[in-house]
Structure 1
Amino acid sequence: MERFFRLKEHGTNVRTEIMAGLTTFMTMAYILAVNPIILTPTGLDWTAVFLATALAAGIFTIAMGLFVNFPVALAPGMGLNAYFASVVIASAATDEPISPAMGLTAVFISGIIFIILTVTQIRQMLITAVPDSLKHAITVGIGLFITVVGLKNSGLMTIAVSSFTDIPAGKFTPVTGNETVMGLGSFTDGTVVLTVVALLLIGILMVLRVPGAILWGILGTTVIGIISGQVDVKEVFTDKTWVPDFGTLNFWHFDFAGVFEVGLVTVILTFTFVELFDTFGTLVGTANRAGFMKNPEEGKKKVGKAMFVDAIGVSGGAVLGTSTVTAFIESSAGVAQGGRTGLTAVTTGICFLLAIFLSPIVALIPGAATAAALIIVGVLMMQSVKEIDFSDLVYAIPAFFIIAFMPFTYSIANGISFGIVTYVVLATVGNLAKKGKYNVHWLMWVLAVLVIYRYVFMGGE
């Protein structure tokens, strides 16, 4: 392991890497339960989606660890799976309904496009094209995005809405009078209280510099949840999904003819566009946090290889029967725990494969524990804010937009999009005034045009 993963060279050891891998798994294990819930209304079988999710996450995360030696985990992405479901469900009432097979075909094709963009080095050019201040802003923005995810999932943060249509009960409050858009959750809610306990527990362990603080905090919170009755242990013994039925798997469930008949070009382009920026943001943010970007050449090479595995994962996940597989921002939890090599990813991947047979046990981890872990990771990722050049408004304004738009619009892609367009405009104006002080890579112009086209002519969809 030392020779293969170059542990000493990266300042880590086997124990730290395994603990980091377990931490990453526990913070993103929710996707095993959430992805089937989101995709089954499209007509896909729950068990089939669960198995596809676990297999895709396991296989491609292990591949990331073995072939890239990078502590990043992959799984079907939140947001992209919701978009997949909305496209299929919304088409049901039309004259040309889109079947789940067509949706999976669209995902598969977007993966092929990614492979081409990666092999031709176009995706890798982003690393050189995007200024350092914007890269650090992406890290900070993702940190705040993760924090919002944790706050919302735990109920610590409520979001005011005008109606309760298709909204989970207990997570939101109605708009009445002068209520704020976002508010504090109720402390009569057991999940909210357990989240606060988890935050304090993880925080104390980190202040005491306990190795594996986030992981031990998650496990400790799970025990507290069991004792307090927040976690029902009986489910482990009554759940009937211990033995997986691989016969239900939607392997190679494609309909190429249907895709071209219905015309899913816009859908394919949307999958491609959102995944392009989401993955770039996640990989660069994680690489920054892990210290790989201190050596720009090494960082570019590492992220480039990671992009190729990610591209393979997109199409590979579709072959297995799930929506777009992407690098997970929750990988930052493992990096914050000390993970620096592919052994972290391999550990996480193995956990996903084992989860196929241990799904009831995985389900024991309360959402409060993983939500608290994500909030703490947000604290750690905020440290990159000091690397942003706020003294120069050409960098400061786009960086701020990236940081603000990611959490407030609930989209990594939105944040990066607004940051890119703003930088191109301001840097161009700045060059007119200061005679070419700022470097605007040609790829930034291309991306700016694509961003404008997407939001103006595609409605931001």
Structure 2
Amino acid sequence: MENFFQLKKYNTTVGTEIAAGVTTFFTMAYILFVNPLILSGTGMDPQAVFFATCIGAGVVTLLMGLLVNFPIALAPGMGLNAYFAVVAAHRPGALMTWETALGAVFISGIVFIILTVTHIRQLLVIAVPDSLKFAITVGIGLFITIIGFKDGGLMSMQFIGDKATQFTPGSFIDNGSWLPDLGSLHNTGTLLTLIGLLVIGTLMALRVPAAILIGIVITTLIGIPLGVTDLSGLSHWSLPSFNHLAVGKLDLRGVFDVGLVTALFTFTFVELFDTFGTLVGTATKAGLMEGEDGKRRIGRAMLVDAFGVSFGALLGTSTITAYIESGSGIAAGGRTGLTAVTTGVLFIASLLVAPLALVIPAQATAPALIIVGVLMMSAVKHIDWDNIGIALPAFLTIITMPLTYSISNGIAVGFTSFVIINFFLWIARRKEYTKIHWLMIIIVILAVWRYGWML
């Protein structure tokens, strides 16, 4: 271990690295419960998603530790899984089936590998102003929060209009509309969500390690006497049934039926900035980006990250990416791949608790989604609100995502408005002008083409 992970070089020990790996695992283990809940909205079997989450996160995190020697863990990304669920929602009019969505994610992973090897991926991220990157993070946070409100019963849909004709075909358009409203506290599920939100919030305020995971467990236990938590799944304690797994069920042909460009734009565009920003951010926090060695290693880390996207799709889950929660392990002293190896092993071992994970009610995981939204909202402070050429595109990016229930809509609107406004600022030679990278212009052209002609 000393020679392989270079522990002395990074001034750490085996004990410190293992403890850091355990810390990282417990900080991000909530994804084991949340991911099956979110992706089940597409019609996927929660048990199959749980299996894919455990194995996908475990294997890719192991690769990050063994091949790159980075203390960074990876798992299906929050926000990215929500976007997957919306695109492939189990309802009429969905853009694609979940099998096709997995195929699109798989192809986007191949695109990531190509972009990483050719260094275009790095150039694409450089092209986007930092304020817009932060706006994407905030917008996704609000998007996740709405999902948490809906899953937890804090928000309901109320029909406003002519009740006598609201069930007549088309009348909801002509005579009224469905508007969001508060949920009812007379509903025990809604009450449990509020309790869970207060529990997790209090634990985080007290800086309790693994606050989100502990809060989910406590909320689930409180849900037993309230009649919300269903313990019937514990009667058959076993590994997930291989008859229900989604391994290899991705539909590549369906991607071409939907439209290759549409499918790739749908996932690659959203994944690109999320995965790179998180990976570089956590590596920088650990002091691993310094010097030529740091640059070479971040390149290898990006390859592992790109591989994880396609590997997760093969297993049957949405995009696997680096987790910002890795920062908890780094704060605990983790500096080498041994931290990641420890976390990866714990994810694989989590298969043993599959029945326990599947009894977690939506009302116990919904507060976690809201809390994640709070954490992502903090990025808003890094946006330059004094420059309208930045502030307006950033605001449009943030507000469009939750209001249109689409991350890609927010990115397209924000990027397009940024290019147009700053183009005129450049013509007027105003000091507020922000330089427009040529790749931003290409991205906007693709966005206009997609929304103007393809849909």
Q: Does the TM-score normalized on the shorter chain lie above 0.5?
A: yes
Displacement of 1:412:
2.3
Q: Give the partner amino acid of 2:417.
A: T
Displacement of 1:457:
1.7
Distance of 1:176 and 1:303 partners within structure 2? 55
TM-aligned CA distance change 1:125 to 1:214, over 3 Å = same
Displacement of 1:81:
5.5
User: How many residues are aligned here?
Assistant: 427
Contact 2:21–2:343 under 8 Å retained in 1: no
Aligned-pair RMSD on alpha carbons? 4.3
Distance of 1:182 and 1:345 partners within structure 2? 42
Contact 1:72–1:327 under 8 Å retained in 2: yes
Displacement of 1:51:
4.1
Contact 1:284–1:303 under 8 Å retained in 2: no
Cα deviation, 1:248-304, whole Å, max 9, x if unaligned, reads 766656887xx3xx8816533233212223223433564687584899966998876
Cα deviation, 1:205-255, whole Å, max 9, x if unaligned, reads 222333333232222222222343321223211x47x14444776665688
Distance of 2:339 and 2:328 partners within structure 1? 10
Distance of 2:138 and 2:17 partners within structure 1? 27
Partner residue in 1 for 2:129: 131
1:399 aligns with 2:397: no
Partner residue in 2 for 1:235: 233
Partner residue in 1 for 2:147: 149
Give the secondary-structure state (helix, strand or coil) at the position aligned to 1:264: helix
Contact 1:194–1:368 under 8 Å retained in 2: yes
Distance of 1:372 and 1:182 partners within structure 2? 19
Partner residue in 2 for 1:94: none
Contact 2:52–2:312 under 8 Å retained in 1: yes
Contact 2:160–2:177 under 8 Å retained in 1: no
Contact 1:142–1:282 under 8 Å retained in 2: no
Distance of 1:85 and 1:383 partners within structure 2? 29
Give the secondary-structure state (helix, strand or coil) at the position aligned to 1:123: helix
Displacement of 1:62:
3.8
TM-aligned CA distance change 1:77 to 1:270, over 3 Å = farther
1:118 aligns with 2:116: yes
Equivalent runs, 1:209-248 vs 2, <5 Å: 209-237=207-235, 239=236, 242-246=238-242
Distance of 1:193 and 1:114 partners within structure 2? 43
Displacement of 1:19:
3.5
Partner residue in 1 for 2:319: 325
Partner residue in 2 for 1:29: 33
Q: Give the partner amino acid of 1:32.
A: P
Pick one of 420, 438, 442 that aligns with 1:442: 438
Distance of 1:156 and 1:13 partners within structure 2? 40
1:283 aligns with 2:275: yes
Partner residue in 2 for 1:360: 355
Equivalent runs, 1:186-225 vs 2, <5 Å: 186-225=184-223
Distance of 1:202 and 1:47 partners within structure 2? 25
Give the secondary-structure state (helix, strand or coil) at the position aligned to 1:232: coil
Structure 1 spans left out of the alignment, 5+ residues:
92-97, 164-173
Distance of 2:207 and 2:378 partners within structure 1? 18
Q: Give the partner amino acid of 1:121.
A: H
Q: Give the partner amino acid of 2:259.
A: V
Pick one of 74, 77, 90 that aligns with 2:81: 77
Displacement of 1:139:
2.3
Q: Give the partner amino acid of 1:457.
A: W
Contact 1:65–1:343 under 8 Å retained in 2: yes
Distance of 1:13 and 1:263 partners within structure 2? 42
Q: Give the partner amino acid of 1:138.
A: I
Structure 2 spans left out of the alignment, 5+ residues:
162-171
Pick one of 400, 421, 424 that aligns with 2:419: 424
Cα deviation, 1:49-91, whole Å, max 9, x if unaligned, reads 6644543343234434553543442368344366457799989
Partner residue in 2 for 1:269: 261
Contact 1:105–1:318 under 8 Å retained in 2: yes
Distance of 1:143 and 1:405 partners within structure 2? 12
Q: Give the partner amino acid of 2:370.
A: I
Distance of 2:191 and 2:274 partners within structure 1? 30
Contact 1:81–1:323 under 8 Å retained in 2: no
TM-aligned CA distance change 1:269 to 1:63, over 3 Å = farther
Give the secondary-structure state (helix, strand or coil) at the position aligned to 1:183: strand
Distance of 2:283 and 2:312 partners within structure 1? 29
Contact 1:406–1:412 under 8 Å retained in 2: yes
TM-aligned CA distance change 1:179 to 1:409, over 3 Å = closer
Contact 1:123–1:307 under 8 Å retained in 2: no
Partner residue in 2 for 1:390: 385
Displacement of 1:445:
0.9
Displacement of 1:323:
5.8
TM-aligned CA distance change 1:232 to 1:318, over 3 Å = closer
Distance of 2:108 and 2:449 partners within structure 1? 18
Displacement of 1:193:
0.7
Displacement of 1:440:
0.9
Contact 1:115–1:308 under 8 Å retained in 2: yes
